[in-house]
Amino acid sequence: MPLHVALVHHPTVDKQGAVAATSVTNLDVHDLSRAARTYGAEGMWIVHPFESTHRYVERVLDHWTEGWGSTYNPRRKESLAYTRLATDLGEVADRLEAAYPGQEVVWVATSARPWPNSISYREMRGWLADPNDTRVFCLIFGTGWGLHPCVLEEMDYVLDPIYGPSNWNHLSVRAAAGIILDRLMGSER
């Protein structure tokens, strides 16, 4: 069943817990697009409210999918061809509903902290592997210090946090996305 990944830059929280809009980094665009493509996602969304940021991301995408970069590194072109821009999650919802008419879209956020409607990786992996499950899944990652609680409250589910052998948990979004996508879609070989 279809899986989409979204990297949300607003509304997120800053170090003090206030609502924030974070900057889009070239590294995040490339690395999350490559991870999403590696694990079979049908789309990677960069979600940011500012038009000036959209113009920046469009220049990056155009360079690697249409410009000189597309011939210099065709594998990068392939991964970035699945990357789309949206102003907010409402726009992502509208576009997913149009792309998959009649199919339910399930929204699953990630968080470094436990959340009341948390689900396990095993449970979501089972849904994604079930050939009879016709739902579309959108996996949401936050930037900065994470998604704002107003986003988490609107999600259908929030994945359990990543727990390592220590009690310290502050991974980069790139590292977290790689770990989570591997847990959900990776081979068990």
Q: What is the pLDDT of residue 59?
A: 96
pLDDT at 122 over 90: yes
pLDDT at 97 over 90: yes
Q: What ranges make up the beta strands (E) of 23-144?
A: 43-47, 83-86, 105-109, 118-119, 136-142
Q: What is the pLDDT of residue 89?
A: 98
Among residues 38, 179, 185, 27, which one has the least CA distance to residue 110? Answer: 179
Domain of residue 167 covers: 3-185
**pTM of the prediction?**
0.95
Strand bridging mode 19-20 / 12-13: antiparallel
Q: What is the pLDDT of residue 161?
A: 95
Which pLDDT band holds residue 1 (cuts at 50, 70, 90)?
A: confident
pLDDT in tens, 68-79: 989 998 888 999
The tally of domains found in the chain comes to: 1
pLDDT at 188 over 80: no
CATH code, 161: 3.40.1280.10
pLDDT at 189 over 80: no
Is the distance from CB of 137 to CB of 1 less than 8 angstroms? yes
Mean pLDDT, rounded, for 149-165: 95
pLDDT at 58 over 90: yes
